[in-house]
């Protein structure tokens, strides 16, 4: 074995040994379609579609506080978009602002900044990325507790007026509009 082969095979062998020691990690890397996930239990608090969304109260960048349950008291639902202020987030938010928001004026849209770490930093990121004049209510998810619950980085969560999660996943306009159209 030449020197170049030893250099490349060493890390590869180490990676394979690491993966072998991680239980069913190979199954996670190569899903079979028969993988078992815990069933979603309706009526139970959880992040999955069909489960009950827990309440939260987060500061907004304008100096107030927003409670999910208080918002749902007067709306058919709420859209939560978890933003990092990156180009992909900008694209998603722009699409929602120009397409979904005008079509669903009775549904509030929230941009949850889960990376900035403070209200001031979220406000600064909002301004620096050109989102100061937005129809999104920007919330500072300091500590990323809401994002962590939903595991929704750069994703959309829709909660209906009955506090049931109707969507939790990657943004596509078609999926979001389908979910919003079906809200009671």
pLDDT in tens, 96-122: 999 999 999 999 999 999 999 999 999
pTM for this predicted structure? 0.79
pLDDT above 80: residue 9: no
**pLDDT score of 161 more than 60:** yes
Give kind and range of the element (H or E) at residue 65: strand 65-67
- Give 88-97 pLDDT, tens digit per residue: 999 999 999 9
Query: What is the model's pLDDT at position 12?
Result: 52
Q: What is the dihedral sign for C-alpha 136, 141, 147, 153?
A: positive
> What mean pLDDT is reported for the chain?
86
Of 62 and 34, the one with more pLDDT: 62
Query: Is 169's pLDDT higher than 90?
Result: yes
Range name among 23-32, 50-59, 112-121, 143-152 with the lowest pLDDT average: 23-32
Sign of torsion over alpha carbons 157, 107, 52, 59: positive
Residue 29 has pLDDT above 90, yes or no: no
57-181 CATH fold: Glutaredoxin (3.40.30)
Q: Are 172 and 155 in contact (CB under 8 A)?
A: no
Residue 5 has pLDDT above 80, yes or no: no
User: In this model, does residue 33 exceed pLDDT 70?
Assistant: no
Portions of the chain given CATH number 3.40.30.10: 57-181
> Which residues sit opposite 165 in a β-bridge?
159
The Cβ of residue 11 has, within 10 Å, a number of other Cβ atoms equal to 9
The arithmetic mean of pLDDT across residues 134-155, rounded, is 95
Would you state the pLDDT for residue 41?
Answer: 74
């Amino acid at each position: 074995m030449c020197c170049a082969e030893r250099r490349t095979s060493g890390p590869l062998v180490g990676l394979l040994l690491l993966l072998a020691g991680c239980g069913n990690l190979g199954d996670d890397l190569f899903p079979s379609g028969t993988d078992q996930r815990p069933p979603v239990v309706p009526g139970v608090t959880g992040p999955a579609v069909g489960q009950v969304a827990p309440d939260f109260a987060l500061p907004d960048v304008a100096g107030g506080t927003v409670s999910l349950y208080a918002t749902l008291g007067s709306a058919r639902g709420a859209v939560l978009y978890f933003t990092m202020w990156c180009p992909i987030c900008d694209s998603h938010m722009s699409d929602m602002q120009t397409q979904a928001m005008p079509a669903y004026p009775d549904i509030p849209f929230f941009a949850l900044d889960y990376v900035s770490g403070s209200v001031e930093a979220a406000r600064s990121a909002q301004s620096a990325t050109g989102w100061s004049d937005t129809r999104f209510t920007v919330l500072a998810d300091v500590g990323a507790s809401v994002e962590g619950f939903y595991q929704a980085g750069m994703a959309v969560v829709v909660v209906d007026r009955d506090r049931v999660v109707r969507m939790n996943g990657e943004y596509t306009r078609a999926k979001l509009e389908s979910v919003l159209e079906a809200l009671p």
